[in-house]
Amino acid sequence: MARAAALGRLTWQPATVAAARVEAATARTLVLDVDGWTGHVPGQHVDVRLTAPDGYTAYRSYSISSAPVPGRLEVTVQAVADGEVSPYLVDVAEPGDQFEIRGPLGGWFVRRPDDPRPALLIGGGSGVAPLMSMVRAATNPSRLLYSVRSPSDALFTAELATTAAAADGRVAVTHVYTRVAPAGWPDPPRRLDTDALARVVWPRDADAVAFVCGPTGFVETAADLLVDIGHDPANIRTERFGPTGG
């Protein structure tokens, strides 16, 4: 059974665009219907493959941003200039269109539902996408620190505002703006630093797990800062991305 499940994850299967949501000027979430999809673990990703009329194919990996449900998933894509896949997903794909996916993939950068530890989620730019899957599926306390250039670049703005204001306090949300801050924001624009992390990190005795996702430089800096302020390196999980051609 395990071998069959693994083979299934590596098999390309059709996905139909059910809906699309604009997240920012260069980012969009696609809601995909996939027959036989049994769900995923928050933090996993899928490969998306496009095939041109002449048979040329290109594929890229994208994090799943939705909570696990059978038959449906969401991917949030940031367009890459001159990319082969992301511009189509962000600017062209419409409900009813089909392409192929395979997955879910990944077993390290995941937050399993039976893990009782509180989680610190640190996202840079579009690296917040897999963390949103964790936020949406969270059953244990979580703190999300989202570093983004400006309010206009931020993803999931309305939902994160609602999440932060929720009465149950299950998920706390903090933003760090690196270039332009909103009017009246209490902090000037700055890169992620020790002070920002110290405000949200769990106490050392909480045995918290940290998930850090974003561009390579951001992830390395965030992980180093966590260690500097006393976070156990064994409880830091990272996922990074760099220029891939999109």
Give residue-wise pLDDT tens across range 133-185.
999 999 889 999 999 999 999 999 999 999 988 868 889 999 999 999 999 89
Nearest Cα residue to 169 out of 193, 148, 142, 196: 142
Which tokens sit at 164? Answer: 């932060």
Q: What CA–CA distance (Å, rounded) separates 225 from 120?
A: 13
Q: What is the pLDDT of residues 176-219, one digit of tens each?
A: 999 999 998 988 999 999 999 998 988 876 789 999 999 999 99
Phi, psi dihedral angles at 145 (to 5 degrees): -110, 115
- Structural domains in the chain, sorted by start: 2-104 (2.40.30.10), 119-241 (3.40.50.80)
Nearest Cα residue to 94 out of 152, 22, 153, 7: 22
What's residue 108's pLDDT?
Answer: 94
Residue type, 171: V
Given pLDDT bands bounded at 50, 70 and 90, which one contains residue 61? Answer: very high
pTM of the model: 0.92
Q: What CA–CA distance (Å, rounded) separates 81 from 87?
A: 8
